[in-house]
Chains A and B, each alone.
Chain A
Amino acid sequence: MPTITIDNQRVTVPEGTNVLEAAKKLGIVIPHFCYHEALGAVGACRLCAMTFLEGSDKGPKLKGVHMSCMVTARDGMVVSTLDEESADLRRHVIEWLMMNHPHDCPVCDEGGECQLQDMTVAGGHGIRRYRGLKKTYVNQDLGPFISHEMNRCIQCYRCVRTYQDYCGGTDFGVLGCNQRIYFGRFRDGTLQSPFSGNIVDACPTGVFTDRTYRFRARPWDLEEAPSVCPHCSLGCAVIPGARYRELQRVRAGVNAKTNGFFICDQGRFGYGHANRPDRPRSPRLGEREVSWPEALGALRRELEIIIAEHGSQAVAFLGSSRASLESNAQLLELARFFGSENFALEIDPERDRAARTTAALLGECARSQEEVRRSDFVLLVGADPLNEGPMMALAVRQAVRAGGSAALIDPRPVELPFAATHLPLSPQNLPEVLKALAEERFERFSARERTVLAGISARIKEAKRPVLIGGGNLLGSSGAQLLIEAARAFSRGDRACGAALLLAGPNSFGSALLAAQSPGPDRLLAQMQEGRIRALLCLESDPFADHPEPGRARMALSRLKLLAALDYLPTETARRCDIFLPTTAPAESAGTYVNFEGRMLPFGSVFDPGVPIQITGGGDHPPRSFEAHTPGSLPRPAWAALAALRGDSLSLAHIRRNLQRSDARFAGLAELEEGGEGRRVNGAGQMPGHGPELPKHPSAEGALRLVVTECLFGSETIASFSPVLDPVRPAPVVRLHVEDGVRLGIHDGEKVRLRTELGDLAVEVRLCEAMAPGIVVLPRLRQGEWEIFVPGVHRDCILQKEGG
C-alpha cells in the first residue's frame, strides 16, 4: 500500500487509490465536479488540480500541476494542495464555470445542497471579471419526474455518465459542442430509463431537479434520516425528506454493500403513499373512530372472547413482507401470548414457500448487490430484475461493463439494461433446466437449446466469481431450491458460485426466518373456510388483494367473526375490517428489513405522522393555520401497537435486544447503525414443504399457460398507493409469442378475451418474438379487474377473439 504526503501529512491508501481520494482520507476536500466515486475519474472539469512536488519512487516522475483524480497514488509522492500554481488554476476554473451560470440561487431548488455553491466558495473565486453575454438555453420537458434548467449547467458530464454509462439509458445524452454543449434529448419527452431520477442526485447544481418536489421546501428545512427503501427485496439505502408533515422526496443513500450510490425511480418517486388524504389515521371500531385505548381494549376483549369460546387456535395472525422484522416478531410474540400456533408471515402460499426455502438454503451462497457488480458471469433464471428488483439489473450491468457477461433463461420477454443471451424456455421447464445445468445433462433439450446451455455451463465453470440469480415468483420454492443447489454444484474448492433470489417484499427474508413454525397461509385459509379460525389479525397485509385465489380468500375471510388490521395504507382489508389500528408509514417508522441476501438493514424514523399541512391548510403557502395538537398524528409503529395489545410498552432497542438474545441468527442486530452497511443474519431458516407441481402440459387443446409478472410502477403495493407514480403506470397489455398469434389468428394490438379459472378479462395483445411460445404474459396491475391476478405461474388460460 503506497504512502504519500499531502500538505505535509502522510497517508497510506490501498493500491489504486487516486490522489483526490487519498486527500479526502486526510480530511482535505479538494474541489471537484466531474469526479464521482461511482462514475470514476475523467479529468474533464480540471478543478481538482494539485501540485506534485516529488514524483514517486517507482514509475514515471510526475511533477507540476496535475488533476488529482487522474493520478494514482504511488509510494513517495509529495503533493501540495495549497501551492499557488494549482490554487490559481482552481480559481480560474471556477471563474470559467461561472461565466454562464445565471446566479439564480434564490429561485433554484438546488440552493442549500448545491455543490457549485460550495465549490465556488472553496475555489476562491469571488469577483466577476467576465462581463460578456451569458449563454442561454431552451429547456426541455423531461416528463413528470425531472425538471430541466440548462442555463445552470456547468458541463461536468455527470448526468450523461450516470444516465448512459451507469444506468444504460439511451434517450438522453450530450448534444452540440464547444460552449453550446447541451444535455438533453433529441426532442422533449419523458425520460425512458427507470433510473432517470439519479441524474438529480448526480447533477452538482440545479440543472436537473426533482420535479415532484419542486418549490416545496428548502433542503435545510427538510427532516431527513438514513432509511431503507421499502419497495422491493433489495434493501437499497435511501434518504427520505419530509417537511410540513409531508413526505416530499426521496434521494439515494449510500451503501457500498447494497445500492452503491443510485436507486431506481420506483424507490425515489414511490413516496406518495404517506401523504394520501384517504390514508387511515385513526383507530376504528367498525366505522367509528375511537381512541387507542378503546380500540386496543376492544380488540383484546374480542380475541379473548373467541379464545374462551373456541380455544386458542381459533385466533390467527397474518404478518407480511412489507412489515419490519421487529413488527413481525412482535406479531409472533402476540400469537404466543394468546397461545395460538396459527400464524403466517406472507399471504401468498408460493411466495411464502419460496422465501422460506431461500432463507433456509441460501447460506454462504448469498451474494450482495456489490458482489454481483463485481461478478464476471451472471446467469438469470426466471428473473426479471428490472421489474422485480430494478437495482439488481444495474448491478449486473456494472458486471457486464467491467468485462463480465450475462445470460438469461426466462419464458418472458425480459428487458435488460445490458447485453445478455436469452434462452426463452417455458415456465415448467425452468426447474428442469436448473437440474440439467447442475448435472450437465442437456439431452432433453433441443439442439439449439443444448448449444446455449452448454455455453452457459462453460461460462459458469470458467468464471471466477459467477452468480446465479433467480426470481421467486417464477421459480417458486422448488425452483429456488434447485437454483441454490446448482450454485453449490458449480462451486469448487478454489472458488464459489453465488446465488441470489429476488423476493417479494423488503422483509421477505426476515419474515421467512421467523416463519419456521408457521403452518403456512394455505392451512390458515383452509381453517378459516372450515370455521375453525374465527379471528384474523392482519399486520400490514392485504389478504383480499394478494391471495392467488381471490375467490377462495374472500370466501374464507367472510366466514370470520373478527377481522382486525394494522396498516398505513387504505387497502381493502383496512377498509373492511372490524377493528382497525393505524400504523406509521416506513419513513415514519424505525425498524429493520432483512433483504434478499439476508442482510439486516435497520432504518430510523424520518418524521412524525400527521395530516400534511398542505391538506389541513387547504393549500396555503406558507401555512397560516396553527393548532396545539397535530391532526392525524395517531398512527403508531406496528411493533409498538402489537406490544401494547399485550399490555407491554417496549422500546425498539428493547425489542431488538430481545430478538438477538432469543434468536442467535439475529446476533448483532441491536448494535447495528441506521444508515450503515448492515450485517448478514447468522444462520438459516427452516425448510418448508414444496407446493403442488404444475402439470407439464396444458389441460385443454389450445390452452395457454398464464404467467403473471411483476411490473415496475404497477405491481408493488406501496408504490401502487403513491399518486406520484400515476403518470407512468404500465399499460394493461398481455404479451403473446408471434407463433401463437399466428396459430390463433390474433394480431398485434388486437383486443381479445382472456378466459381463466379466476375470471375473464378483455385484454390488448402485444406479439413478441423474444419469449417462450405457449404462454400468455400478463402484468400484475393493481387496478380494477386486473387486480385478481397475482404474480406467479398460473394454470391454463384461453385467448378468444371478440365475438368468436
Chain B
Amino acid sequence: MTQVLFKNRRPGETVFLDGYRKTGGYEGLQKAVKAMSPDEVREAVKESGLRGRGGAGFPTGVKWTFFPADQFGEKYLVCNADEKEPGTYKDRELLLADPHQLVEGMIVSAYALRIPVGYIFIRYGYERCSQNLERAIAEACEAGFLGDNILGSEFSFELHVHRSAGRYICGEETALLNALEGLRANPRSKPPFPAVRGLFGMPTTVNNVETLANVQHIIVNGPEWFRGLAATETGAGTKLYGLSGHLERTPCLELPIGTTLREIVEEHGGGVWKGRTFKACLPGGASTPYLAAKHLDTPLDFEPIEKAGSRLGTGGVTVFDDTTCMVAATLNLNTFFARESCGWCTPCRDGLPFVSWLLEKIERGEGTMEDIEILRGQIRNIHGRSFCALATGAMEPVASLLDLFMDEVVDHIKRGRCPLKR
C-alpha cells in the first residue's frame, strides 16, 4: 500500500531532517521554488482534487482561489493543529513520526500563496509534537528552507509554533484566529472570511495539518498521481484513519481514501472486540452522524459517505459494539459538546444542555414520547441555526440516533429503563 505521509513512520521514533531528506524530503520545495511559479503550484493543488482533512472537506485548491495570492504585504498562513475532535488523533501521529512533512507542506503552501508568515496553532496537550515542530523548524532554518530568501530565491517565510491554551472551539478557524490574537476564543461572523480579513485583520488561510502535509507530494509527483492514490473514482490521495472504540486493534494508518468501512473494521481493526458484533460507528469524529451495520460496505471517502447519510469528517473511526446503549453514547457525546460550547450563541450555550437533559431523562427511563418530539424540536432549531458549526455538528449524532436507532430510544421509554443496562 502506498505510504505518502507515513512512509517514514517507525514505532517509537521521530524522523528529523536527515531521515526526512533520505526519502525525498524537501524535493517538493526545491521543485516549487526553482521550477514553478506560485500560480502553477496553486493550479497543481487545485487539479489534484485535494480536499481539506480537518473535517469539512472543502477542496483546498478552491479555498486558495479565494485568497488574494497575488497581493503583496502582510498575510498569514495558519496551520490548524488544534486536534480536539473526539476520536481523532491522526495529526498527532503524523507530527510524532515526521514533523518535517508539515513544515515543508507549509513552506510550499506559503510560496504558492505568497505569504511571509505562518503559525502552527497546536493543541496544548501535544507538547512532544510542539517540540518536534520547533526542532524541525530550527533545522529547516539552518538548512535554508525557512527564513529569508529560501533556496536563494526572492521568497521568504517565517514559521512559528503557538501552543493553544486549549478548548475544542479553538479548532473552529475564526475562533482559532481570535485565540491566536490573544482574544477570547469566540468564533467571528462570516463574511468577511479569513481570506479577506483574518489574523490581525489581514488575509489568512487556515488549513489542517494533514492537508498541508500533502501539498509537497502533489508538487513532486503531480496531480494525476495524487488522484490515482484513491480507492474510489471520485476521491484523491490517501487518508489517515485513526481507529478507536470496540475493536481488537486500534491503530492509526494511512490507506487509500475510499477504503471501505468493512475493510477498516475487519482487516485493520481486527474485527469487533470480544467476538461481539458491529452496531454503529462514528466515521469521522464526534460531529458526524452514525453509520450502522447496513453501511459497512460504504467506502470512507467524502462522496460515498455523504450518500450513506454521514460525513468523512476527520477520518477518526470510532466503533460501538452491540452491547452499547446508543442513547448513553449520544448523551456522552452531547455532554462533551455542551461543555465545550464557547457560550457565544444561545442554541449552543443553552440548547445543548437542554438536549443533554432530555437524553439523560430518556436514559434514566423517565422519558415520555413527548420528549422525543421536544428533542426533534431541539435538533431542528440547533442544527444550522447556531453561530458556528460546533452545535450544528453536535446535532449530527443526535439526529442520526433518531434516524437509525429510534426503536432503541422508544424501548427506553416503554420499559422505563435502559434496555442495555445489566
Footprint of B on A, CB under 8 Å? 42-47, 49, 65, 70, 88-89, 92-93, 95-97, 99-100, 129-130, 132, 155, 157, 174, 176-181
Q: What's the least CB distance linking B333 to chain A, in Å?
A: 15
The answer to whether B353 and A155 have CB atoms under 8 Å apart is no
Known contacts A70-B189, A88-B380; is-contact A44 B385 (Cβ 8 Å): no
Contact with B343, one of A45, A46, A176 (Cβ below 8 angstroms): A176
What is the bound-complex CA distance between A44 and B346, given in angstroms?
A: 7
- Picked from B167, B340, B345, the residue with its CB within 8 Å of the CB of A46 is B345
In the A-B complex, list the 10 residue pairs whose CB atoms are closest, starting with the nearest.
A96-B350, A181-B343, A92-B381, A178-B341, A132-B357, A177-B343, A46-B346, A89-B381, A93-B346, A44-B345
Residues of the A chain whose Cβ atoms lie less than 8 Å from the Cβ of B184? 174
Residue-wise interface mask of B (290-319) relative to A, using a CB-CB cutoff of 8 A (1 in contact, 0 not): 000000000000000000000000000000
CB distance from B377 to the nearest CB of A (A): 6
Expressed in whole angstroms, the Cα–Cα distance for A99 and B346 within the complex equals 11
A88 touches B381 (CB 8 A): yes
Q: A92: which of B189, B340, B378 is its contact (CB, 8 Å)?
A: B378
Are A178 and B340 in contact, with the CB atoms below 8 A?
A: yes
Bound-state Cα–Cα, A197 to B194, Å: 36
Residue pair A45, B378 in contact (C-beta under 8 Å): no
Cross-chain pairs A/B with CB under 8 angstroms, 25 sampled: A43-B189, A43-B345, A44-B345, A44-B387, A46-B386, A46-B387, A65-B385, A70-B189, A93-B346, A96-B346, A96-B350, A96-B351, A96-B354, A99-B354, A100-B350, A130-B357, A155-B343, A174-B343, A177-B169, A177-B342, A178-B341, A179-B341, A179-B343, A179-B349, A179-B353
Contact mask for chain B residues 45-70; partner A; CB cutoff 8 A; 1 contact, 0 none? 00000000000000000000000000
In the bound complex, CA of A177 to CA of B169 (Å): 10
| Additional pairs, 19, CB under 8 Å, beyond known A155-B346, A178-B339, A179-B353 | A44-B345, A44-B346, A44-B387, A46-B347, A46-B387, A89-B385, A92-B347, A92-B351, A92-B377, A92-B378, A99-B354, A132-B353, A132-B357, A155-B343, A177-B341, A178-B338, A178-B342, A178-B349, A179-B341
Tell me which residues across on chain A come within 8 A of B200, comparing CB atoms.
none
Contacts of A44 in B (CB 8 A): 344-346, 387
Chain A residue nearest in CB terms to B339? A178
> With A and B bound together, what is the CA distance between A637 and B387 in angstroms?
55
CB-based contact A130/B347 at 8 Å: no
- Taking the complex as formed, is B374 at the interface, i.e. its CB lies under 8 A from any CB of chain A? yes
Chain B residues within an 8 Å CB radius of A49: 385
A97 to B377, CA, bound (A): 16
Main secondary structure of the interface of B (DSSP, over half): helix
B346 pairs with A45, CB closer than 8 A = yes
By beta carbon, the residue of chain B nearest A181 is B343
Most chain A beta-carbon neighbours within 10 Å: one of B184, B189, B345, B384: B345
Q: Select from chain A the residue with minimum beta-carbon distance to B341.
A: A178
Specify which chain A residues have a CB less than 8 angstroms from the CB of B357 in the assembled complex.
130, 132
CA distance A46 to B387 in the complex (A): 8
Distance of B168 from chain A, by nearest CB (Å): 10
Q: How far is the CB of A159 from chain B (nearest CB, A)?
A: 14
Residues of B within 8 A of A89 (CB): 381, 385
Nearest CB in chain A: distance from B403 CB, A: 20
A174: chain B residues within 8 A (beta carbon): 184, 343
Interchain CB contact under 8 A, A97 and B385: no
Q: Are A99 and B343 in contact (CB under 8 A)?
A: no
Q: Could you say which residues of chain A place their CB within 8 Å of the CB of B340?
A: 178
Contacts of B167 in A (CB 8 A): 177
Contacts of A47 in B (CB 8 A): 346
Q: Given the complex of chains A and B, what is the CA–CA distance between A42 and B344 in angstroms?
A: 10
A180: chain B residues within 8 A (beta carbon): 343
Contact B339 A46, beta carbon cutoff 8 Å: no
> Known interface pairs A42-B189, A88-B377. Does A93 touch B347 (Cβ–Cβ under 8 Å)?
yes
CA distance A179 to B345 in the complex (A): 10
Contact: A179 with B385, CB < 8 Å?
no
Minimum Cβ distance to chain A for residue B388 (Å):
10
* A373 nearest CB across to chain B (Å): 21
Q: Which of chain A's residues has its CB closest to B387's CB? A: A43
Q: Which residue of B lies closest to A85 (CB)?
A: B380
CB distance from B88 to the nearest CB of A (A): 21
A577 to B132, CA, bound (A): 85
Interface centre among B184, B357, B385 (most CB of A within 10 A): B385
Pairwise interchain contact B345-A45, C-beta atoms closer than 8 A: yes
Write out, one digit per residue, whether chain B residues 347-364 have a CB within 8 A of any chain A CB (1) or not (0): 101110110010000000
Per-residue CB contact flags for chain B residues 364-389 toward chain A (1 = under 8 Å, else 0) read 00000000001001101100111100
| B244-257 interface bits toward A, Cβ cutoff 8 Å, 1 = contact, 0 = none | 00000000000000
* 316-347 of chain B: CB within 8 A of chain A: 338-347
Residues on the B chain within 8 Å of A181, using CB: 343, 349
- Nearest-neighbour CB distance to chain B for A462, whole angstroms, equals 20
Chain A residues with Cβ below 8 Å from B385 are: 46, 49, 65, 89
Alpha-carbon distance between A157 and B344 when the two chains are bound, in angstroms: 8
Contact B354 A130 (CB under 8 A): yes
> In angstroms, how far is the closest chain A Cβ from the Cβ of B354?
6
Q: Interface digits, B155-173 against A, CB 8 Å rule (1 contact, 0 not)?
A: 0000000000001010000
> CA A93 – CA B391 in complex, angstroms?
14
Closest partner residue, chain B, to A49 (CB atom):
B385
In the assembled complex, the CB of B89 is this many whole angstroms from the nearest CB of chain A, namely: 24
Q: How far is the CA of A45 from the CA of B345 in the complex (A)?
A: 5
B387 cross-chain contacts in A, Cβ below 8 A = 43-44, 46
Q: How far apart are B306's CB and chain A's nearest CB, in angstroms? A: 20
Q: Which chain B residues lie closer than 8 Å to A65 at the CB level?
A: 384-385
Given contacts A177-B342, A181-B343, contact A99 B350 (CB under 8 A): yes
State the Cβ distance, A509 to closest chain B Cβ, in Å: 40
Question: How many angstroms from the CA of A157 to the CA of B339 in the assembled complex?
Answer: 19
Scoring B378, B381, B386, B387 by chain A CB atoms within 10 A of each residue's CB, the highest score goes to B381
CA distance A96 to B348 in the complex (A): 10
Residues of chain B within 8 A of A157, CB atoms compared? 344
Identify the closest chain A residue to B191 (Cβ): A60
The distance from the CB of A101 to the nearest CB of chain B, in whole angstroms, is 10
Contacts of B351 in A (CB 8 A): 92, 96
* A179/B338 in contact, CB under 8 A: yes
Q: Which residue of chain A is the closest to B349 with respect to CB atoms?
A: A179
Chain B residue at smallest Cβ distance from A99: B350
CB contacts (< 8 Å) of B386 on chain A: these are: 46
Residues of A within 8 A of B345 (CB): 43-46
State whether B353 touches A99 (Cβ < 8 A): yes
Pairwise interchain contact B378-A178, C-beta atoms closer than 8 A: no
Contacts of B378-409 to chain A: CB distance below 8 A: 378, 380-381, 384-387
CA–CA, A95 and B167, complex, Å:
27
Contacts A88-B377, A89-B385, A92-B378 given; indicate if A178 touches B354 (C-beta within 8 A): no
In contact, B349 and A155 (Cβ under 8 angstroms): yes
The smallest C-beta distance from A86 to any residue of chain B, in angstroms, reads 10
A95 to B377, CA, bound (A): 12
Residue of A nearest to B348 (CB): A178
Write the B233-276 contact mask toward A (1 if CB under 8 angstroms, else 0): 00000000000000000000000000000000000000000000
- Indicate which residue in A97, A129, A178 contacts B346 across the interface (CB closer than 8 Å): A97
Q: How far is the CB of A181 from chain B (nearest CB, A)?
A: 4
User: Closest residue to A66 on the B side, CB-wise?
Assistant: B385
| B193 vs chain A, min Cβ distance (A) | 12
Complex formed: what's the CA distance from A88 to B385 in Å? 12
- A92 vs B347: C-alpha distance in the bound complex, in angstroms? 8
Q: In the assembly, what is the distance between CA of A157 and CA of B349, in Å? A: 13
Contacts of A70 in B (CB 8 A): 189
Chain B residues with CB below 8 A from A129, complex form: 374
**Residue numbers in A under 8 Å from B380 (CB-CB):** 88
Q: Which residue of B lies closest to A132 (CB)?
A: B357
Residue from the list A42, A43, A97 in contact with B350, Cβ < 8 A: A97
User: Could you tell me the distance between the alpha carbons of A389 and B374 in the complex, rounded to whole angstroms?
Assistant: 54
Residues of A within 8 A of B344 (CB): 44, 157
Per-residue 0/1 for B169-204: is the Cβ within 8 Å of any A Cβ (1 yes, 0 no)?
Answer: 100000000000000100001000000000000000
Please indicate which of the listed interface residues B344, B357, B378, B386 has the most CB atoms of chain A within 10 Å of its own CB: B344
